[in-house]
Amino acid sequence: MESSDLFADRYPHQKIEQKWQNKWFKDKLYKVNDKDDKPKWYELTMYPYPSGDMHIGHWYAMTPSDTRARFRRMQGYNVLHPMGFDAFGLPAENAAIKHGIHPYKWTMQNIENMRRQLKSMGTIYDWDREIVTCKPDYYKWNQWVFLQLYKSGLAYRSYAPANWCDSCNTVLANEQVLESGLCERCDTEVIKRDLNQWFFKITQYADELLDQSKIDWPEKIKSMQMNWIGKSEGVEISFDISEYSLDQKFINTFTTRIDTIFGVTFIVIAPEHPLVTQLTTSDNIDQVKSYIYEASKSSEIERLSTDKDKTGVFTGSYCTNRLNGDRIPIFVADYVLLSYGTGVVMGVPSHDQRDYKFAKKYKLEIKLVVQDPTSKNKDILEAYLSDGVMVNSGKFDGLSNIEAKNKIADYIENRGYGKRSINYKMRDWLISRQRYWGTPIPIIYCNDCGIVPVPEKDLPVLLPENAEFLPTGESPLSTSLDFVNTICPNCNLEAKRETDTMDTFVDSSWYFFRYLSPNYKEGIFDRNKILEWGSVDQYTGGAEHAVMHLLYSRFFVKALRDLGLINIDEPFKKLFNQGHIISGSQKMSKSKGNVVSPDEYVNQVGADVVRCYLMFIGPWDQGGEWSDSGLRGMSRWINRVWEIFNKDKSNLIINNQDSKLEKEASYIINKTIRKVTEDLEKFKFNTSIASLMELTNWINEKLNTKSINKVIWNDIKNKLIILLAPFAPHMAEELWYLQGYKYSVHNEKWPQWSLKHLELDTKTIIIQVNGKFRDKINVTSDLNESEIKEIALQRERVNQYISGKEIKKIIYIKDKLINCVVN
């Protein structure tokens, strides 16, 4: 950062910001009173992960929403704008492994520092409501919700693959696996390992989550959620494998194109599918086994990559298409996922591009069943995806394929070959993490009683302090014998605890309710407070949470509602996504060394300047680039505002009455109030501030020309300070105090504008000739259309362009312009 003398410094920000922050804190100015009978407004910013040091990105997310919350407060709402910490998670555990510091200590130190930084921003957070998710009085309720979901069948245990590093002997998060597929710590190839894990049944709510009628969110986010849920309707149909005398006589596939069932020339099965080994013949077993091993090394993203060539191996077995008796080869290929549909795909190369490529590669038959009515598909050079007429499809020949879809589905259902079904891309939510720093899952495994939930009275299941974080191949909690070994609550015999912890998205799925009764001991939340406050009125945060956090929260709220705990359908009524702030045209990151730290800027120019600058950069949803010189401009403006109030006005303010000037002043102040108010509603902080700058420029100009009298000054100073208050809360408070007004400006009412003052005696009319600007005139409001036209046509500048030409028509837009159309 450049030296401080480059910055304007007449405004003693350090002294003033300290003074008011202390006073607000002492007076509990921003304490939220539930009993207040003003209308309630819940404005929430996504809570941060306590990584230790705040960078300017945190400020970019938080100061504009604080300004909005302050604005709502001054508009007469009882505003709740709380803050807390998303305190469980991987970085704390990594710090523990790397530096030997306990995750709790590391996290709490970070929180302490961040709390100090957040306070320095001059925000209205009511710190009495702070929540810290790694504290037992918070995560106890994660466990409690888990038990409720378990009881109602929404939590279940099943096998799921996890990234595994053989050398480190540990499970890896996706972010710990390099793009090359190697472990980030030791460069060993990462494989998949099936683990028994816990899930929440979010798929049960798939259809309700698709209903977005009760949320006012950006279209972008809504469409991302739609795609993520990925509903598709089709038919589940079985192929006959009874010739192999296995337990299963049929192999099931799901298709959205049942009209192409007669074009199936191969079947593809996912490598993880339990039938694979049973169906593989001894000739092919070596090949198939090595293929499965290779597949386990590739990540899902790699497997699903369109760039990659399709690969697969033949199992040596066949199945029979029950509609036409065709004998069809069965392949294993990694482009089929066990987790979607039935994990088996019917290959129709003539009508699916991916199947077409696969068939070409392995020289499989390509059989046309839907004919293009125009070209008749003479040569099949690629899959034909459009609609057409059925051919090679037995008794369905000649029908349109759209009609055939239904008829074939009916036929299949009548014969018992399959049934219509709906599939979702979305899977159930895997919440198990083989980690230390998270909420212990409250389950006990007993040899006799099986899976036993921890009784509610025994909650919380505390995270033991003495677990070993170094990788052992087990979840860290299993190294704490005091923790693992317990007594079965059912039979009182020895039993073992679950040693996995919960995904931290569980914490963030309901934290917004905990703010309403943060210290409530009798339950997850005080239901009366939920009735009073309801869900979040305005939520703000980054778009990177478009799917996971925002979808999980919606699921949680619906599940809690169905458990009878609340009567709310959606957690966040309105959503706004801010963009990202960048530095040196790049995302800020420690490795690039371009992280902008707010503390030193706050020291040099003050929190108000940093706040205003961040809001002034550009539209909030588009993000922007940090620039020291831009900040300097804001510092200049804040200092100019300060000077307006602090310079000696005995010679500047005149005593004369001047109704024309008073009218002008009244016009500009009303215009500013309207602009600031309307733009704040729309999150357009940049233009709000620009209009405040215009107002202060006007005041300075009038002071310099000695054209402000006492009437104007008294009106304008009062309103200007109030308008400044949400943006620059410290300076506004000090100016308010210096004017001798009653503490606090933040309890003042937001000013109203009146249309009466926005009407001027004269209007500026633009004169165009053939749509080009040529002149403008000032006319009094009482002139009518023909009088204005007459004046306009007489203007010399206009005459230059119309003389000697035929006037075809004149367009007149009231109070705005005249356009003269000539040849």
Partner RNA sequence: GCCGAAGUGGCGGAAUGGUAGACGCGGCGGUCUCAAAAACCGUUGCCUUUUACGGGCGUGUCGGUUCGAAUCCGACCUUCGGCACCA
Residue that is written with structure tokens 């004149």 in the block:
810
Residue whose CB is less far from RNA, 517 or 691: 691
CB of 76 to RNA, least distance (A): 26
Kindly tell me which of 107 and 255 has the beta carbon lying closer to RNA: 255
User: Min. distance of Cβ 241 from RNA in angstroms?
Assistant: 18
| Residue with Cβ nearer RNA (4 or 188) | 4
Min. distance of Cβ 190 from RNA in angstroms? 18
Both tokens assigned to 211: 């209903």
277 three-state secondary structure = helix
330/328 Cα distance (integer angstroms): 7
- Cβ contact 578:228 at 8 Å: no
Taking the least distance from each CB to RNA, the nearer of 422 and 451 is 422
Nearer to RNA, 143 or 577 (CB): 577
Distance, CA of 762 to CA of 760 (rounded, Å): 5
Closest distance of CB 670 from RNA, Å: 16
Relative to beta strand 78-80, strand 40-45 is parallel
Measured from the CB atom, is 201 or 776 closer to RNA? 776
Residue with smaller CB distance to RNA, 464 or 633: 633
Q: Which residues contact 117 (CB under 8 A, 6 or more apart)?
A: 53, 54, 58, 598, 599
Would you say 181 or 534 has its CB closer to RNA?
181
Tell me the residue type at 135: K
Q: For residue 659, which phi and psi values (nearest 5 degrees)?
A: -65, -30
Nearest approach, Cβ of residue 507 and RNA (Å): 21
Least distance between RNA and beta carbon 494 (Å):
43
Nearer residue to RNA within complex by CB, 86 or 259:
259
| Closer residue to RNA (CB): 430 or 547 | 547
Instruction: Render 541-603 in DSSP notation, one character per residue.
Output: EEGGGTTHHHHHHHHHHHHHHHTTS---S-SEEEEEEE--EEETTEE--TTTT-PPPHHHHHH
Q: CB 236 → RNA: shortest distance, Å?
A: 9
Of 119 and 303, which CB lies nearer to RNA in the complex structure? 303
744 preceded by a cis bond (ω within 30 of 0): yes
What's the closest the beta carbon of residue 690 comes to RNA, in angstroms?
3
Q: What's the closest the beta carbon of residue 80 comes to RNA, in angstroms?
A: 29
- Whether 76 and 749 have beta carbons less than 8 Å apart is answered as yes
Structure tokens at 407: 């008829």
> What pairs with residue 422 in β-bridges?
233
Contacts of 734 (CB under 8 A, 6+ apart): 16, 19, 20
**Shortest Cβ distance from residue 388 to RNA (Å)?**
18
Give how far the C-alpha of residue 109 lies from the chain's centroid of Cα atoms, to the nearest Å: 28
- For the bound state, the minimum distance from the C-beta of residue 794 to RNA, rounded and expressed in Å, comes to 16
Cis peptide preceding 442, ω within 30 of 0: no
- Which residues have a Cβ under 8 Å from the Cβ of 619 and sit 6 or more positions away? 579, 683, 684, 686
Q: How far is CA 178 from the centre of its chain?
A: 25
Please spell the DSSP secondary structure of 467-526, one letter per residue: ---S--SS-GGGG-HHHHEEE-TTT-SEEEE---EE-THHHHTTHHHHTTSTT--SSSS-
